[in-house]
Amino acid sequence: MNKIPSLIITVCFLAGALSLNSCRKKPEIPIITTSSGTNITTKSVTSGGVITADGGAEVTARGVCWATSSNPTVAGSHTIDGKGTGSFVSDVNGLLPNTLYFIRAYGTNSAGTGYGNEISFSTSPVLTATLTTTPITSITFSSAVSGGNITDDGGGDITARGLCWNTSTNPTTANSVTTDGAGTGSFVSNLTNLQPGTTYYVRSYATNSAGTAYGNELSFTTTSINPAVTTTAVSDITSTTAKSGGIITSDGGSPITARGVCWTTTADPTISNSKTSDETGTGSFTSNITALQPGTTYHVRAYAINIIGTSYGNDVTFTTAAALATVTTAAATGISQTSATLGGNVTANGGSSVIEKGVCWGTNPNPTTAGSYFANGSGNGAFTVNISGLIPATTYYVRAYAINSVGTAYGNQITFSTSSVALASLTTIAVTSITSTTAASGGNITSDGGGTITARGVCWGISTHPTISGSHTTNGTGTGNFASSLTGLTTGSIYYIRAYATNSAGTAYGNELKISTSISDIEGNIYKTVVIGTQLWMAENLKTTRFNDNLPIPLITDDIIWSNLIDPAYCWVLNDISYKDLYGAMYNWYTVETGKLCPAGWHVPSDNEFIALELYLGMPPDQTDLWEWRGTNEGTQMKSQVGWDGGGNGTNTSGFSALPGGYRFARNGSFNNIGDITYWWSSTEIDSESFYRRLDSSNNGIFRGATSRKGGKYIRCLKNYF
């Protein structure tokens, strides 16, 4: 290859390039125009420019520069918006509101920085913020929750925000406020120290340089609470009255509809006790407490009522002053020639214990304890005194009295006149010949009292202290002994009997006697009765051969048949009817089981009813559940005074009149221990046996046990529900 032509070509090319470079122009600054300002706000503007010529060198920086004076340069505030020619946009921020600014576009190349034409503009002024008030929640009697939402800051920084409230409309930050940070968006505010039952108006607020803006107004009402009340000290205390009151410092948010004080003798009285009603509203009030008892300690509290309820003040105690006792005088009774029965009733002690009570009397009005008097104990309640040594046919004035620490109080005055004739003196004769409907008694008048006996006899009734206003006989006149026949009595009943004698002084009564009439069974057999405690018993053993529905009870005399029988049966002792009136009949328990053995209105006693008898006679209660022998002398009280072998007779103080009729043995039907032992069936079963009671000559107690129902034992009937 020929290298010379290539070398020539290369040399010629380099020479041409050097010649061309030496012919180019020197670079100039770019040519640029400034774009008008748009999107002007309080803090920003949009501008820019167009670089129409780069001045022969690359534009390495472009943008806008601005200042508050003319001809700004890149030595001051400016943007950097890329490089090269053509249009560009510049966003200018960080401006001051409501301020005149000058702005120019710029472009920089190697020759320097060129500036476009200058334009001017003013930033917008700052406006107040835009916000809303958050709905109110969590309302109590002293607090609530609300807040706000700032949707536009108005072009200026929000430096304060929160909630303001007042009890009148359009609250401002001059009223109660919260401070809840800065900036836009939602915030929460807690309202505190509110008054109960009060309506409040609320607005959110936001502050920027343009001022304070407010959200929409809302209102709410706090809940109510009980009133606040204190009790005023008690003053002006008397025996029956006092003064107090109260101070209502808060109505709790709703009107006070009632107020006053309440009181009682125990702590913490309420309006369900005694109370006053002292108008309405708050503040101080005075209450008059009345109808108190003397010498009594009371508790008092002020009260106030609003829609929520009743509040009470502190409990204050006070004691009323003592007063004279309150006493009434009873009518005179038992008036004779020289004596009378007087009395009274202390109905209230005046708040101080009655240390003495009695009656005083005299022949002049308004007697006092400075004259004739008779004391009868102390304390409250009714009392009587018997006075003597009076003058016959004389008028006396009487007053009851009662003494406490305050002094002597007197009751109402009564009068009576002694008789010129005294009541008769007499005794009641013992009752005999008692049947189911009749009895015999009478009396002995030992003194006519100085007057003629115009009527005499006996009176009776089913209650104690019978008088001639009830059933009675009329048995002549005069003193001495007389006999009376009582008729129309009810079978199996208890009666109280007294002799009586009437003269001009009145009716006198003898000592009181108590009897019980006999009863009869379906066959007409008559039985004496006796009251023991609260029970009415037969005083002898049952001897009927028929049930109370008139059906016959089988008579079983054969020992073997008796010992194998499981049906009702009876027998006489030793199969000898001559023992009927002495001992009565023996029955097996299958006869008892029918429930038809005793006369109508009577029944075979249960085990518990025998226990009631034993307890009344003195058996210790801790022996109630014992079997076998119980007590000490209860059996002696039940046994007859005669008829028992070996010195085993009793005292019969109970009137039960038990006799030793023996028993019939269940195992072989034999008769045993006549004169030594007696048994009675009860109606109470236990397992396959039945309870009984037993008395022995050799034991003073009562035996409780249970045995085969085939045995032969006696029956004592007991009146129903006596």
- Look up tokens 């009752």; give the residue: 431
Question: Among candidates 371, 380, 365, which has minimal Cα distance to 327?
Answer: 380
pLDDT for residue 13 is more than 70: no
- Look up tokens 């006519």; give the residue: 448
pLDDT, tens digit (0-9, with 9 covering 90-100), for 146-198:
999 999 999 899 999 999 999 999 999 999 999 999 999 999 999 999 999 89
Q: Which residue has the higher pLDDT, 10 or 606?
A: 606
CB 439 within 8 A of CB 432: yes
pLDDT band at 22 (very low <50, low <70, confident <90, very high): very low
pLDDT computed for residue 386 by the predictor = 96
pLDDT computed for residue 31 by the predictor = 97
pLDDT, tens digit (0-9, with 9 covering 90-100), for 226-264:
999 999 999 999 999 999 999 999 998 889 999 999 999
pLDDT for residue 14 is more than 60: no
pLDDT for residue 707 is more than 50: yes
| Secondary structure, 3-state, 374-395 | EECCCCCEEEEEEECCCCCCCE
> What is the C-alpha separation between 232 and 260, in angstroms, rounded?
11
pLDDT band at 393 (very low <50, low <70, confident <90, very high): confident
CB 695 within 8 A of CB 644: no
pLDDT for residue 536 is more than 90: yes
DSSP state string for 246-284 = EEEEE-TTS---EEEEEEESSSS--TTSEE----SSSEE
The tokens describing 717, both together, are 């009937």
Q: What is the enclosing helix (H) or strand (E) of 636?
A: helix 634-638
Q: How far is CA 162 from CA 25, 134, 155, 216, 661, in A?
A: 68, 11, 19, 13, 111
> What is the C-alpha separation between 205 and 215, in angstroms, rounded?
6
pLDDT above 90 covers what percent of the chain? 91
Q: What average pLDDT score do residues 420-448 get?
A: 94
Collapsing DSSP to helix, strand or coil, 115 comes out as: strand
CB 390 within 8 A of CB 374: no
pTM value? 0.46
pLDDT, tens digit (0-9, with 9 covering 90-100), for 585-602:
999 999 999 999 999 999
pLDDT band at 336 (very low <50, low <70, confident <90, very high): confident
Collapsing DSSP to helix, strand or coil, 473 comes out as: coil
- Look up tokens 């529900």; give the residue: 721
pLDDT, tens digit (0-9, with 9 covering 90-100), for 541-586:
999 999 999 999 999 999 999 999 999 999 999 999 999 999 999 9
> What is the C-alpha separation between 541 and 537, in angstroms, rounded?
10
pLDDT computed for residue 526 by the predictor = 95
> What is the C-alpha separation between 521 and 519, in angstroms, rounded?
7
pLDDT for residue 16 is more than 90: no
Q: What average pLDDT score do residues 374-396 get?
A: 94
pLDDT computed for residue 722 by the predictor = 62
> What is the C-alpha separation between 709 and 712, in angstroms, rounded?
8
Q: What average pLDDT score do residues 211-220 get?
A: 96
Measured at the alpha carbon of residue 236, what is the angle toward residues 234 and 241, in degrees to the nearest 5? 90
> What is the C-alpha separation between 720 and 683, in angstroms, rounded?
14
Domains of the chain: 31-122 (2.60.40.10), 130-221 (2.60.40.10), 228-319 (2.60.40.10), 326-416 (2.60.40.10), 425-516 (2.60.40.10), 521-719 (no CATH)
pLDDT, tens digit (0-9, with 9 covering 90-100), for 671-690:
999 999 999 999 999 999 99
Collapsing DSSP to helix, strand or coil, 419 comes out as: coil
Q: What average pLDDT score do residues 300-319 get?
A: 96
pLDDT band at 5 (very low <50, low <70, confident <90, very high): very low
Mean pLDDT computed over every residue of the chain: 94
Q: What average pLDDT score do residues 211-221 get?
A: 96
